[in-house]
């Protein structure tokens, strides 16, 4: 009885990937699985029988995605050669012996060996996909001789076809042994190459696992003619356009594809399409427009899935190929009737993590008419208020559209969620003195101006004016009402009255680092341009030291990320902190000299520390989710202050909240071990070999005009900081 082959859970279409030398790595396999691959293919034509069990076990150890054994089938191939390729000259005579020989331009084998007995004088032989055309001119007891009519290069294990049907069994001896190994190791998917008739399908089913699903490959005229009877015995069909074009002129293949897909659909059998889907991407990171168009039209024809073969087996960019197919699939499924106007402007990929709440907030007013604020009341606020307004407007705090109302604040403090249920851990409020609030009323628009300059930067559409007990606010936000806590101090200075409402940004705040301040949309555009979909974010307020460098690169490797987004906070800081400029310069130095090329994007986060420990750790992660990060590094005592939080409090809150759409990458306190000669969370060596590293200690060493040891901070980085201080440039606040 035929069984159903399950499609991709997101698109209902399937991606089948062939694994080979370019992709037979656990990290690559994990990325392919993440991109929606529903079946991994082992091509027996390119896998030695002695390696079959090892390859199966390796793939099974790396993924839960099923494996398909694709048989050699009824196909002739070139034998082994002494070199990767040999040149066969026009009009030369080539000997094809029955017994194995070291292949060269005058003498090489065909596989299977007994095919020599089936060749006849006069047969035309096409070798290596139209590279060479030859004719059999003589037949001897030990060999056949062929004259090269059209010369060219030929590789080993390459396809060979003859201009007449040669009866060959549907399975080779190697196929039968490999299928038996697969059955023992739990392989439940098999592909039958060169399926020609229903009995071929019955033959492979008889030697495969009892519950195996059979994918019959249509790659010969016979298979096209007998498609319905083959489909009736198969779980799926696979149209191989490459091998089929050896028997059918290439200009007819588009019509054959449409016909085969239509007939498969009528039979109720799934149909996949293979060969040259992304041929150019074997050597390039991006496809041609023609290839993208071909894939889309193949889906439009009705194909249930797409097969990547050489692209992922031997190509230079297997993950990029799967990513491109996945992106095209998402476009096909999400916009079956064309694009709505708003989507035409979208530049980021559907494969990047979705913004928090589903969409990026955009509250920037372009072409603002200054006359609109003449009738508005003006509220003088400090820079932190306007920084929050700016981050809300550009979408960094999505889904927030403004400062929190009392309902939203109480919901966040009580349940770590906004009133509609979206996870949000941190209050984002506009706090003023009671006397300032007396002249304001709900329903009006208020111009927010920077103290000292009077420059208006945003409009607040006031919805709520309310009070809140500051001691309670402190305890719920910071876990303490202690006046020595930096966050509590700031909160109590600002008064107990709050304004809630949506904002509109009139203009961006000035900054000496504006070229680093990329918006979430711009970050996503950069990641899309780099073909990144798996990005780890890193939040910091320190010049880089060796532990930070270590955990950054470890996170990229461990989670198979395409790159890292270094995003230091450059807003107002407390006394003794590094200045924003020196932090950015230290990372620019790292990018120029030490980070792996193409793996790092540096941006400036124009925000400030709240010092709320666990709540702020989740908040900083959600912000990076909006920038397009799929992962976020959460270190020891992340965004904490003093001894108010335990080192793993942030980790516990992430675990409590569950899946928030960005994966935390947890690190505990890291040390340098002189014996291990690396950075570790713990090891078996004595304490005398363990050296502690933290940002506070680094600042103190550098403030004393000394250079930390090389295992603590790169010499180039410490030299940069000390030289800047010597020049009189601001290094510390």
Active-site pick, 542, 620, 626, 639: 542
What is the C-alpha end-to-end distance of the chain, expressed in Å?
Answer: 74
Q: What percent of the chain has pLDDT over 70?
A: 97
**Greatest Cα-to-Cα distance within the chain, rounded to the nearest angstrom:** 109
Whose tokens are 């040149």? That residue is: 87
> Using CA atoms, how far apart are residues 159 and 130, in angstroms rounded to an integer?
10
Nearest Cα to Cα of residue 31 among 421, 563, 498: 563
Q: Write down the residue that tokens 């007939």 correspond to.
A: 263
- Whole-angstrom CA distances from 155 to 90, 100, 114, 146, 419 are 17, 16, 20, 17, 65
Q: Write b or e for each residue in 206-220: b if 16 or more Cβ atoms lie within 10 A of its Cβ, otherwise e.
A: ebbbeebbbbbbbbb
Q: How confident is the model at residue 428 (pLDDT cuts 50, 70, 90)?
A: very high
pTM higher than 0.75: yes
For 713, other C-beta atoms within 10 Å of its C-beta total 25
Inter-axis angle of helices 173-184 and 198-207, to 10 degrees? 50
> Residue 78 and residue 111: Cα distance in Å, rounded?
6
- Answer yes or no: is pLDDT of 368 > 80: no
Structure tokens at 374: 């003449």
Say which residue, 231 or 84, is predicted with more confidence: 231
What's the pLDDT score for residue 331?
87
The CA distance from 641 to 587, in Å, is 24
CA distance 350 to 333: 11
The per-residue pLDDT for 157 is: 87
Could you confirm whether domain 515-726 is CATH 3.40.50.620? yes
Would residue 692 show up in a list of annotated catalytic residues for this protein? Answer: no
Residue spans of the domains in the chain: they are 14-73+170-334, 76-162, 370-505, 515-726
pLDDT at 2 over 80: no
CA trace torsion 164, 168, 171, 176 (10° rounding): -150
* pLDDT at position 4: 44
540 carries an active-site annotation? yes
Ranges assigned E (strand) in 555-699 = 563-566, 600-602, 631-634, 663-666, 671-673, 678-680, 690-692
Q: Which residue in the list 541, 615, 636, 714 is annotated as catalytic? A: 541
Give the separation between CA 488 and CA 475, rounded to whole angstroms.
9
The C-alpha atoms of residue 281 and residue 529 are separated, in whole angstroms, by 16
DSSP result, 284-325 = -SS--HHHHHHHHHHHHHT-SEEEE-HHHHTSS-HHHHHHHH
Tell me if domain 14-73+170-334 and domain 370-505 are identical in fold: no
- pLDDT, tens digit (0-9, with 9 covering 90-100), for 377-422: 999 999 999 999 999 999 999 999 999 999 999 999 999 999 999 9
- 671-673, strands of its sheet edge to edge: 678-680, 671-673, 690-692
Clarify whether 542 is annotated catalytic.
Answer: yes
Structure tokens at 453: 């300059």
Architecture category of domain 76-162 in CATH: Beta Barrel (2.40)
Residue 1 has a pLDDT of 36
| Calpha distance 359→353 (Å, rounded) | 11
- pLDDT for 225: 96
Paired with 132 in beta bridges are 127
Residues 6+ apart with CB under 8 A from 266: none
How do residues 538-559 score in pLDDT, each as one tens digit?
999 899 999 999 999 999 999 9
Q: Single out the catalytic residue among 540, 620, 626, 639.
A: 540
What is the rounded CA–CA span in Å between residue 247 and residue 406? 74
pLDDT for 648 beyond 90: no
Identify the pLDDT of residue 481.
92
pLDDT in tens, 118-135: 999 999 999 987 689 999
Residues 6+ apart with CB under 8 A from 358: 399
Mean pLDDT of the chain, nearest integer: 92
CATH of domain 14-73+170-334: 3.20.20.60
Q: How confident is the model at residue 627 (pLDDT cuts 50, 70, 90)?
A: very high
Q: What pLDDT score was predicted for residue 6?
A: 46
Question: How far is residue 42's CA from residue 71's CA, in Å, rounded to a whole number?
Answer: 9
CATH 3.10.400.10 fits 370-505, yes or no: yes
Each residue's pLDDT tens digit, 99-121 = 999 999 999 999 888 899 999 99
């Amino acid at each position: 009885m035929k069984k159903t082959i399950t499609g991709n859970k997101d698109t209902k279409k399937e991606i089948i990937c062939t694994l080979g030398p370019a992709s037979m790595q656990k990290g690559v396999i994990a990325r392919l699985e993440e991109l929606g691959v529903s079946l991994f293919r082992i091509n027996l034509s390119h896998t030695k029988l002695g390696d079959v069990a090892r390859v199966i076990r390796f793939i099974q150890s790396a993924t839960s995605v099923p494996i398909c054994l694709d048989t050699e089938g009824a196909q002739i191939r070139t034998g082994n050669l002494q070199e990767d390729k040999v040149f066969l000259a026009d009009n030369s005579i080539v000997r094809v012996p029955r017994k194995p020989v070291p292949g060269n331009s005058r003498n090489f084998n065909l596989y299977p060996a007994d095919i020599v007995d089936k060749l006849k004088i006069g047969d035309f032989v096409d070798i290596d996909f139209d590279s060479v055309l030859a004719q059999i001119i003589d037949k001897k007891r030990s060999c056949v001789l062929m004259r090269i009519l059209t010369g060219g290069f030929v590789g080993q294990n390459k396809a060979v076809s003859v201009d007449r049907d040669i009866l060959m069994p549907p399975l080779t001896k190697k196929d039968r042994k490999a299928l038996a190994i697969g059955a023992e190791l739990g392989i439940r998917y098999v592909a039958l190459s060169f399926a020609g008739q229903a009995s071929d399908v019955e033959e492979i089913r008889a030697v495969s696992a009892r519950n195996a699903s059979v994918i019959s490959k249509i790659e010969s005229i016979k298979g096209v003619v007998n498609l319905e009877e083959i489909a009736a015995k198969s779980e799926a069909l696979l149209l191989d356009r490459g091998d089929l074009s050896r028997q059918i002129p290439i200009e007819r293949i588009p019509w054959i594809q449409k016909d085969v897909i239509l007939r498969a659909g009528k039979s109720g059998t799934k149909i996949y399409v293979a060969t040259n889907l992304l041929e150019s991407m074997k050597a390039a990171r991006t496809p041609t427009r023609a290839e993208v168009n071909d894939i889309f039209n193949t889906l439009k024809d009705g194909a249930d899935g797409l097969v990547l073969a050489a692209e992922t087996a031997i190509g230079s960019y297997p993950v990029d190929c799967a990513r491109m197919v996945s992106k095209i699939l998402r476009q096909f499924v999400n916009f079956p009737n064309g694009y709505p106007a708003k989507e035409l402007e979208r530049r980021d990929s559907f494969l990047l993590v979705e913004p928090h709440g589903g969409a990026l907030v955009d509250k920037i007013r372009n072409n603002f008419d200054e006359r609109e604020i003449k009738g508005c009341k003006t509220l003088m606020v400090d820079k932190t208020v306007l920084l929050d307004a700016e981050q809300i407007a550009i979408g960094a705090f999505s889904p927030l559209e403004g400062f929190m109302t009392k309902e939203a604040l109480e919901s966040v403090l009580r349940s770590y969620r906004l009133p509609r249920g979206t996870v949000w851990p941190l209050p984002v409020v506009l706090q003023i003195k009671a006397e300032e609030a007396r002249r304001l009323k709900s329903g009006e628009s208020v111009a927010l101006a920077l103290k000292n300059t009077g420059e208006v930067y945003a409009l607040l559409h006031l919805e709520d004016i309310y009070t809140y007990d500051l001691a309670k606010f402190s305890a719920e936000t910071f876990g303490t009402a202690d006046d020595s806590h930096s966050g509590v101090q700031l909160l109590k200075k600002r008064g107990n009255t709050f304004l809630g409402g949506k904002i509109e940004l009139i203009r961006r705040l000035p900054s000496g680092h504006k070229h680093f301040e990329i918006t979430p949309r711009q970050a996503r555009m950069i990641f899309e341009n780099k073909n990144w979909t798996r990005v780890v974010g890193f939040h910091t307020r320190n010049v880089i030291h060796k532990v930070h460098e270590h955990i950054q690169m470890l996170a990229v490797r461990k989670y198979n990320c395409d790159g890292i987004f270094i995003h230091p906070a450059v807003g107002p800081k407390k006394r003794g902190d590094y200045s924003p400029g020196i932090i950015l310069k230290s990372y620019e130095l790292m990018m120029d000299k030490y980070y792996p090329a193409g793996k790092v994007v540096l941006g400036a986060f124009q925000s400030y520390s709240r010092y709320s420990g666990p709540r702020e750790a989740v908040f900083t992660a959600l912000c990076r989710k909006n920038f397009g990060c799929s992962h976020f590094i959460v270190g020891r005592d992340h965004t904490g202050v003093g001894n108010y939080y335990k080192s793993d409090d942030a980790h516990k809150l992430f675990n409590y909240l569950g899946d928030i759409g960005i994966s935390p990458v947890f690190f505990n306190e890291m040390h340098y071990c002189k014996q291990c000669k690396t950075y570790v969370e713990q090891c078996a060596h004595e304490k005398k070999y363990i050296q502690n590293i933290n940002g506070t200690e680094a600042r103190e060493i550098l403030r004393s005009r000394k250079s930390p040891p090389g295992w603590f901070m790169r010499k180039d980085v410490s030299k940069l900081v000390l030289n800047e201080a010597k020049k009189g440039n601001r290094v510390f606040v």
